[in-house]
Amino acid sequence: MPTLTLPQIGILVLVIVGLIVLMRLIQPKLSPAERYLLHEIQRKSPQVDNIRLYMWIKMIVHPVTQPSDLEYQERFLSDAEQMKVILEQMQSFGAAILYPLFGFEAMNWRLAPEQHDPLFERIAALLIIRRFPHTAEVIEDFVAKGPDTLTRQFIEKNSNAFPPLSTIQQRYLHNLAAVLQIMVTTHRNEWWPGTNPAIQEWAESTLRRLAKTSADIDVSFLEKQSNSEPKAE
C-alpha cells in the first residue's frame, strides 16, 4: 500500500472532518429513524463513504404505514436492470451493514410484523451470501438477541418515535425468517445467483432454531422441500 504524502493526509483529514461537520449540521433536521441510521452506520461501519451507505439504505427502505407505501419497490422487483444497479452499489459494503439495514427497516415499519417487505428481503439475502461467513455472525447475533445493544438503547431513548421494542423484536424475527427462506428455496434466476450448499445448510439450520423461539415461524415448507426433487444450482 503506497504511503500518503503530508498534503494527501491533510486532504483526507479535511474530508473526514467535513463529513462529521456536515452530519452534525443536518442531524437536527432528520427524523429519529434517520438519526439512528447515521449513528448506527458510524458505530458499526466506520468508513469515508458513510454518506453513500446512508443514502443507499434510504433508497432500499422507506417508511411504510400502509400497503401502498411499498409500490416504490415495483420498479426494482420487476426490472432486472434496476435491481442490478442496486447490487452494483453495494459491492463495497461489508457484513456490518446488516445492523443498520435491519434496524432502520424495523423502525420504519408500521404494518403487522409478519407482513413482507420484498425488496428489503431480497437485498438482505443477497448481502448475506455475498459476505458469508462474516454475515452469519451478524445473523446469529440477531437470532440470539434481536436488535443489537446500540439499536435497543436508541429505541429506549426515543420510545415515542418508534413502535414498542417488543414489536420491533417481532419484526426482526419475521424478517429473519423471510430472508432465510429466500436463501433456502429460491432457484437461480436473473437476480439470485443460487445458494452454495454449505450456506443453504446453515440457513436451514438457522431457520429451524428460529422456529423454536416462536410459534409464529412456520418452517413446514422445509419438510416438503426435503421430499421434493433437489434444487438445481
Average pLDDT per run of 10 along the chain, which is 233 residues long? 66 68 60 90 68 90 97 94 88 89 97 97 95 95 93 94 95 97 92 90 95 88 68 46
Same domain, 115 and 186: yes
Does residue 168 lie within any of the structural domains?
Answer: yes
Q: Is 174 exposed, middle or buried (0-12, 13-18, 19+ CB in 10 A)?
A: buried
Rg for the chain (alpha carbons), in Å?
19
- 181: nearest Cα among 124, 131, 136, 230: 124
Examine residue 231 and state whether it is found in any structural domain, yes or no.
no
Cis before 133? omega within 30: yes
Asked if residues 90 and 77 have their Cβ atoms less than 8 Å apart, the reply is no
Residues 125 and 25 in one domain: no
How crowded is residue 15: how many other Cβ atoms within 10 Å of its Cβ? 11
Same-domain check for residues 23 and 118: no
95 in a structural domain: yes
Residue 233 lies in a domain: no
Is 232 a domain residue?
Answer: no
Tell me, yes or no, whether 95 and 116 share the same domain.
Answer: yes
Is 1 inside any structural domain?
A: yes
Query: How many domains does the structure of the chain reveal?
Result: 2
User: pTM of the full predicted structure?
Assistant: 0.82
**Residue 223, CA distances (Å) to 115, 177, 179, 201, 214 in order:** 23, 16, 18, 14, 18
125 and 151 assigned to the same domain? yes
Together in a domain, 81 and 149: yes
Helices (H) and strands (E) counted in the chain, each on its own, are 12, 0
Claim to verify: residue 91 and residue 25 sit in the same structural domain: no
154: cell is: 436508541
Give the pLDDT of residue 233: 45
- Judgement on whether residues 15 and 64 belong to the same structural domain of the protein: no
My answer on whether 91 and 15 are in the same domain is: no
The type of residue at 41 is: I
Domain enclosing residue 139, as ranges: 32-226
Same domain, 14 and 71: no
The answer on 178 and 194 residing in a single domain is yes
**pLDDT value of residue 120:** 98
Q: How far apart are CA 233 and CA 229, in angstroms?
A: 12
- Measured CA to CA, the distance from residue 23 to residue 48 in angstroms comes to 13
> Within this chain, do residues 43 and 9 fall inside the same structural domain, yes or no?
no
In a domain, 88, yes or no: yes
Q: Is residue 209 part of a domain?
A: yes
Question: Long-range pairs for 128-132 at CB < 8 Å and ≥24 separation?
Answer: 128/98, 128/179, 128/183, 128/199, 129/183, 129/193, 129/195, 129/196, 129/199, 130/90, 131/94, 131/95, 132/196, 132/199
